[in-house]
Structure 1
């Protein structure tokens, strides 16, 4: 292991980087995104806040494993700063499993898995470890660097005596009558898929109230061109103003039943008519679900990346340019 940054991160967590080697000279956009991810891992290992900050776009948003959120680079950096100060053992490694790039638009969709180590609580207790999966959306800036636009993390396992292993806050129940009742004996993964089907049907009939009934109070979405929607009322207004013909198809649903969390990955496609011209968009998405106190699965966050768009140019605009860092 000749790369000192990679060696530092691997030593910290006892994890190899063989699954995603860092190319000396990235030869493709997907390898460049992997290189950017591994550089971010190395910045975490050496606690280099400036290097971490430089990886984020100005509108960076993150949803963490226990479901807390930060919006903007500075809010995220302050979270990292306080975590480093409070925990001498803390470290995380994120390993890409799949990277899909829209080179023309300068967008990339990353899916992977992560592992973090924490100090034990109280002092002297065995360290804690958490593992899970994540989804990242990257955008290429004007200087050619790939930068993180948004990330969603979901904790699937957490072990040890650490405050990081406290379950997330409970989600209140939706208003009565707005969502189907839980099905007895149905697995959580099947329940999430059923909720996604219900969501697709609500989109098909342009029922904004039914759509947002599925959302948790702190719902956040990042759409294909990079626009953010924060909160249920903002989402309701957006669906009323701009109803879309969209369908989302889950490829994979992983569940942490103990904490009532689920991570969904899938494919999406939308059709829109702009001034009589039809545009068709498609791409990949990730969604984080939480089970509310009534047993219903609700969406906390969704992250969409546009990988293809054909037809009306008014609806196939590339994302706004990102200045070089």
Structure 2
């Protein structure tokens, strides 16, 4: 009887070993995207984008307007974008005031190509409802902006649009905040 029990135990451990040997290893984690290496001009747009976001965080209507090109189009992908600095500033008045909804964003990529006075920037955007008990409290999306450097050397948003936000968890909101970089990843 002991011989049968020992044989069964041996076969059981052997089958576990065989099964483990036949289980394919877990695939490697995907590589992290490479950190961008930006030129001095791209870093100037990066800094300008952070300043634009700061104008909203500080509820500074004048600073917000100074970041917007006089003939800008916001909601550029919509059938009827908002056109012109004055109309854009008026449409964004509630976000600038920040009484019911807080909007934050930051760049993760800036690119300048063949036209040295045109730049593209993108990054995440976080919306936070400020009403107590609002659910969902957070929503996360993304933005894309096209900047133009004026004859005065100042970069201003010419086109702006975004990805519609989706509800986000508290953890996603914290991850958004920890992903913000103040320093441009310059070459």
- TM-score, normalised to structure 2, is 0.60
Cα distance in 1 between the residues matched to 2:83 and 2:122? 20
Residue 148 of structure 1 corresponds to 157
Native 8 Å contact 2:57 2:96 kept in 1: no
Cα distance in 2 between the residues matched to 1:126 and 1:64? 29
Runs of 5+ in structure 2 lacking a partner? 1-34, 170-187
Give the alignment's Cα RMSD to 1 decimal: 3.1
Q: Secondary structure at the match of 2:54?
A: helix
Q: Tell me if 1:126 matches 2:134.
A: yes
Name the larger-Rg structure. 2
Cα distance in 2 between the residues matched to 1:94 and 1:45? 10
- TM-score, normalised to structure 1, is 0.36
Aligned length: 133
Residue 121 of structure 2 corresponds to 110
Residue 207 of structure 1 corresponds to none
Q: Secondary structure at the match of 1:53?
A: helix
Residue 135 of structure 1 corresponds to 144
Residue 90 of structure 1 corresponds to 101
Native 8 Å contact 1:113 1:133 kept in 2: yes
Shift of 1:88: 1.7
Given the alignment, which residue of 64, 68, 82 partners 1:70?
82
Runs of 5+ in structure 1 lacking a partner? 1-18, 21-25, 161-325
Shift of 1:130: 1.6
Residue 242 of structure 1 corresponds to none
Cα distance in 1 between the residues matched to 2:109 and 2:94? 31
Cα distance in 2 between the residues matched to 1:65 and 1:95? 20
Cα distance in 2 between the residues matched to 1:68 and 1:152? 12
Q: Secondary structure at the match of 1:96?
A: coil
Q: Tell me if 1:38 matches 2:72.
A: no
1:172-191 counterparts in 2 under 5 A?
A: none
Cα distance in 1 between the residues matched to 2:74 and 2:68? 10
* Greater per-residue strand proportion: 1
Native 8 Å contact 1:65 1:155 kept in 2: no
* Greater per-residue helix proportion: 2
Native 8 Å contact 2:56 2:96 kept in 1: no
**132 and 82 in structure 1: CA distance in 2 versus 1, 3 angstrom threshold:** closer
Cα distance in 2 between the residues matched to 1:134 and 1:82? 18
Cα distance in 2 between the residues matched to 1:104 and 1:83? 32
**Greater RCO, 1 or 2 (C-alpha within 8 Å, sep 6+):** 2
**Poorly superposed stretches of 4+, deviation over 2 Å:** 64-69, 82-85, 102-105, 124-128
Cα distance in 2 between the residues matched to 1:103 and 1:42? 29
Shift of 1:102: 3.2
Q: Deviations over 1:105-138 (max 9, x none)?
A: 4011112111111233xxx323632211211101
Residue 262 of structure 1 corresponds to none
